[in-house]
Amino acid sequence: MGKRFAGTIFVAINFLVSCFVFLGSTFLFAKNSNKSLDFINLSTELSISNSPQVRIKSLQDNISPIVRLKSDTFRTSGSDINIDVSVNEPLITGDFTYFSLQADGEADRGLYKVTLNELKEGENEVELAFYDRFGNSTKKNITVEKRQILGESTIRGEVIWLDGDDILAVIDKEFALPSEYYPKDLVYIAEYSIPAVYGKFMLREVIIQDLSQLFADANAAHVNLLVMSAYRSYDKQRSVYNTWLSAAGITEANRVAALPGHSEHQLGTAIDFTTPEIGNSNYFDKTAAGKWLAENAYKYGFVLSYPQGSEEITGYRYEPWHYRYVGKDAAMDIHLSGKLPIVYLKEINKVYN
Cα 139-144-146 angle, rounded to 5 deg: 155
Catalytic residue among 89, 152, 264, 319: 319
- Please say whether the beta carbons of 300 and 213 come within 8 A: yes
| Buried-state track 80-112, b at ≥16 Cβ within 10 A, e below 16 | bbbbebbbbbebebeebebbbbeeeeeebbbbb
- Please say whether the beta carbons of 302 and 323 come within 8 A: yes
Tell me the C-alpha distance between 302 and 133, whole Å.
51
319 tagged catalytic: yes
Consecutive H or E run containing 5: helix 2-33
| 262 Cβ contact list (under 8 Å, min separation 6) | 154, 171, 172, 173, 175, 176, 177, 237
Tell me the C-alpha distance between 68 and 107, whole Å.
10
Catalytic residue IDs: 319
